[in-house]
Structure 1
Amino acid sequence: MRRVVGFAAVLALAGCSAEGGGGGSAPSTTTSGGLKVEVVVAGLSHPWDVGFLPDGRMLVPQRPGRISLVADGRATDVEADLGDVAARGEGGLMSLVVHPDFATSRRFTTCFNTASDVRLVTWELDGTKATRVKDPLLSGLPTAASGRHSGCRMALDRDGDLLVGTGDTARGTAAQDRSTLGGKVLRVDLATGEGVAGNPFGDRIYTYGHRNVQGIAVRQDGMVFTAEHGPDVDDEVNVLKPGGNYGWDPSRGGTVGGYDESVPMTDLERFPDAVPAVWSSGDPTEAICDAAFLVGEQWGDLDGVLAVTALKGTKVLLFTVTQEGGVHSVAIPPELDGTHGRLRGAELGPDGALYVTTSNGTDDEVLRVSRG
């Protein structure tokens, strides 16, 4: 990938991992500007994701249990049976993926909390009405009564299979327990919800040992990056390796009860073979969220950069990543640094622009970000 140029370094963090896969932080920089940020639509409530239809319209799921169809700067509610969405705490209606064959199938898939689990449901859109056609596509993902760490982020890999990042529901043993789907990244067939042939454990699990996966980005070469919430320290950007253990274990091997968040995000002492993060926020955390690669000549020297949103940090971080999957540097564009509040969703649109959602709770927006 091309290295980002023209950035002035403002802060160097210890433990830089520049070239290939070791854990640690990377130099932090600020851009010289040059991004254009436009409001596409406002008046939303915790929009989690953006799914693009072939004609350029957008489906935007909102955490309280509503899907909006956005066109020409206006949001129209999609008529859909979302009565079983349990919006509580961090949970509710979350990620959405438009199927690659939408032009003929009219299908998209959502992920949401119910009273008993987190589940994936596939819908068929007819005008502004959506009907369930796979109900569920996949169920039984764990949830928490409080909604804590019951997130669900979906993305399609290069083969068209569905990657699903899940939270550990604040249960100490969940991330290391391969009999549960919490604290994992799953890889499933988009049509059936079953595990994909070649998955490392012969089931739906692709990686495990995660705390709370919030973002998944697939690079053009197929390499998969995730963004993950840490506790008080160490949000992580990870590169997925099939069968990899990412080292989160607040149960300390089942020896302590409750949810001991003082353990390392990637516990290399307990799990020497755990996959180290390619970037860690250190202290304080940013509450990083969704992730998307900027692709296209229109981005200039930002072509190939990984854009990651931050909730607590109220910013976008731009990661220059190496071909091997390391993080070379991190840039913070001033146009998206504390300017729009909490930022959650990130998706590259068919026009090559980056679409970002805010998550402030009231009058939330979808933003269009392009090179000025």
Structure 2
Amino acid sequence: MLGAMRRVVGVVAALLLAGCSTAESPGGSAPPADPPKGIKVEVVAQGLTHPWEVGFLPDGRMLVTERPGRLVLVENGKTTRIKADLGDVVARGEGGLMGLLVHPDFATTRRFTACFNTAKDIRLVTFELDGIEARRVQDPLRDGFPANPSGRHSGCRLSLDKDGSMLVGTGDTARASIAQDRASLGGKVLKLDLRTGEGGVLTYGHRNVQGVAVRRDGLVLTAEHGPDVDDEVNVLKPGANYGWDPSKGGTEDGYDEDVPMTDLSRFPDAVPAVWSSGRPTEAICDAVFLDGPEWGDLDGALAVTALKGAKLLLFTITAEGGVHAVSVPAELDGTHGRLRGAELGPDKALYVTTSNGTDDKVLKVTRG
């Protein structure tokens, strides 16, 4: 009897060390907080198909990528198709036209970078916008990201680091060895020069990074899909391993998703998640920090969209990057279906995209 009790205690301790939670609440491994008050949601664009990413131009207009391989401009609620050579985009499963980053010097260069699947790989291409036409000026900026023919675990979220470089979150393409293979660009967060595409792996051991958020002090957090348990929010530490290894140290050829999201037994130095969904997963997606007095006590909170969970999660983040509490606004809790993209506009409002497949929308979220 005593031995059995010790085994139970050992299992519980292992779960705690792994940052796992079995609590079926939006709080996951952090305490849930009351829904914030005064949240307002407006539709600013509609009639879209799987809008993946929103990027703001200096004049406040929005560029939006649609996963089937279309790029649109949004102004005053009107959407205009951008003429661009996107004929090599392969939209299949989770893959297609995905991440977008408007360059910080867009006012003079007119440049933005997009990420998409092709028949060979996933790649970054830089475009120059002229009116409603976009031409390729760096094709590719960087190629050779691994891709699964099914599109599974394509990743490819783009974000601007505090030093002006580009951070790219990639997926492991549902292949067993890729996340731990430092020679591969899959299952990683990459740090690249925005002008040349040069650079390499910042962190590794990821399953499918869907959100990369940079706080004003330079702290970087990611949002990552778990299998059937443990979506994760992680604080990035350069050179660190985040512990996903479905190959079990190279002993499995198949994609064994029963391994922990952060396998501290196999990788004792792996970085534990600062938040884990436990069960069920939310399929968390894009992430961005709210920033401005307009948000009141939510100033500095991390906003994370959820696909399966069909909600917006707001994380109260400590100075060191820990998660203090999680709240879910009632106005974005199952009210608009699957939520994917998240971007803070120049007006400090939060812009969120739906991903339901028909009549998708861009939503403007503010706090009164």
Q: Report the TM range for the smaller structure's normalisation.
A: over 0.9
C-alpha deviations, 1:89-110, integer Å up to 9, x for none? 0000001000000000000000
Instruction: Check conservation: 1:224, 1:240, Cα contact below 8 A.
Output: yes
Q: Deviations over 1:274-299 (max 9, x none)?
A: 00000000000000000011110010
State yes or no: 1:72 paired with 2:76. Answer: yes
Q: What is the distance in 2 between the residues matched to 1:96 and 1:215?
A: 12
In the other structure, the counterpart of 1:324 is 320
> Structure 1 residue 365 and structure 2 residue 351: aligned?
no
Find the aligned partners of 2:333 and 2:237 in 1 and give their Cα distance.
32
How far did 1:150 drift? Answer: 1.1
Alpha-carbon RMSD:
1.2
Of residues 255, 263, 266, the one that matches 1:267 is: 263
Query: What's 1:44 paired with?
Result: 48
Distance 1:356 1:155 in 2: 16
Pairs within 5 Å for 1:160-239: 160-195=164-199, 204-239=200-235
Pairing partner for 1:59 from 57, 60, 63: 63
Q: Which runs of 5+ in 2 are unaligned?
A: 1-11, 21-28
CA distance in 2 between counterparts of 1:328 and 1:29 reads 9
Query: Equivalent of 2:87, from 60, 83, 87?
Result: 83
Counterpart of 2:338 in structure 1 is 342
- Code of the residue aligned with 2:361 in structure 1: it is E
TM-score by length of 2: 0.93
Aligned residue in 2 for 1:333? 329
Tell me the percent identity: 74
CA distance in structure 1 between the partners assigned to 2:110 and 2:36 by the alignment = 42
Question: Is 1:248–2:252 an aligned residue pair?
Answer: no
Aligned residues of 1:30 and 1:334 also touching (Cα < 8 A) = no
TM-score normalised according to structure 1 size = 0.92
How many Å apart are 1:366 and its aligned residue?
0.3
- Distance in 2, matches of 1:58 and 1:139, equals 26
CA distance in 2, matches of 1:183, 1:32: 34
- What is the Cα deviation at residue 30 of structure 1? 3.1
Letter in 1 for 2:285: C
Q: Is the partner of 2:331 in helix, strand or coil? A: helix
After TM superposition, give the deviation of residue 34 of structure 1 in Å.
1.2
**Quick check: which one's helix share is greater?**
2
- Of 30, 33, 38, the residue aligned with 1:29 is 33
Q: CA deviation at 1:22?
A: 8.8
Q: What's the CA shift string for 1:221-263, capped at 9, x where partnerless?
A: 0000000000000000000000010000000001011100000
**Following TM superposition, by how much is the alpha carbon of 1:29 offset from its aligned partner in structure 2, in angstroms?**
2.4
Please report how far the alpha carbon of residue 39 of structure 1 lies from its aligned counterpart in structure 2 after TM superposition: 0.2
Which of 97, 118, 130 pairs up with 1:126?
130
Say how many residue pairs are matched: 346
Cα distance in 2 for partners of 1:333, 1:110 equals 31
SS in 2 for 1:70: strand
Moved over 3 A (4+): 21-24
* Paired residues of 1:184 and 1:205 also in contact (CA < 8 A): yes
Structure 2 equivalent of residue 141 of structure 1: 145
**Aligned partner letter, 1:48:** W
Alpha-carbon separation, structure 2, partners of 1:109 and 1:345: 16
